[in-house]
Amino acid sequence: MDATTLQKINNWLSGNYDIATKEAIKHLQETNTLELEESFYRSLEFGTGGLRGIMGVGTNRMNKYTVGMATQGFANYLLKSFPNKEIKVAIGHDSRNNSRFFAETTANVFAANGIKVFLFESLRPTPELSFAIRTLGCQGGVVCTASHNPKEYNGYKAYWDDGGQLVPPHDKNVIHEVEAIQNVDDVKWTGGEANITILGKEMDDKYIQMVKNLSVYPEVITQQHDLKIVYTPIHGSGIMLVPKVLEAFGFTNVNIVEEQAVPDGNFPTVAYPNPEESETMSIGLNKAKKIDADILLGTDPDADRVGIGVKNHKGEWVLMNGNQTLILAFAYLIEARKAKGIAKSNDMAISTIVSTEMARILSERNDVQYYSVLTGFKWIASLILEKEQQENYVIGGEESFGLMIGDKVRDKDSVSAVALLCEMAAYEKSKGRTLFDKLIDLYIQYGFYYESLISITKKGMNGQKEIAEMMQGYRNNPPVTINGSKVAQLLDYELSLGKNLITGETWKIELPKSNVLQFITEDGSKISARPSGTEPKIKFYFSVKTNLSVKSEFDEKYALLQQKIKDIISDMQLK
Hey, what long-range contacts does 248-251 have (CB within 8 A, 24 or more apart)? 248/208, 248/209, 248/211, 248/212, 249/212, 249/215, 249/218, 249/221, 249/419, 249/422, 249/423, 250/218, 250/221, 250/222, 250/225, 251/221, 251/225, 251/227, 251/422, 251/426
Please give the radius of gyration of the chain, using alpha carbons only, rounded to the nearest integer: 24
Alpha helical stretches, state H, 400-540? 414-430, 435-446, 463-476
Measuring CA to CA, which residue among 412, 403, 382 is closest to residue 327? 403
Annotated active-site residue in 147, 237, 363, 416: 147
Q: In the chain, how long is the greatest CA-to-CA distance?
A: 73
* 512 vs 50: CA distance, rounded Å: 19
CA-to-CA distance for 241 and 130, rounded, in angstroms? 15
**What is the DSSP code (8-state) at residue 121?**
S
Fill in the amino acid letter for 165: Q
Handedness of CA 347, 352, 353, 354 (dihedral sign): negative
Contact yes or no for 479/487 (Cβ under 8 A): yes
Residue 86: CB atoms within 10 Å: 10
Number of Cβ atoms within 10 Å of the Cβ of 451: 23
Question: Would you call 570 a catalytic residue per the annotation?
Answer: no
Q: Does 168 sit behind a cis peptide bond, omega within 30 degrees of 0 on the bond before it?
A: no
Where b means 16+ CB within 10 Å and e means fewer, 29-45 reads eeeeeeebbbbbeebbb
List active site positions.
147
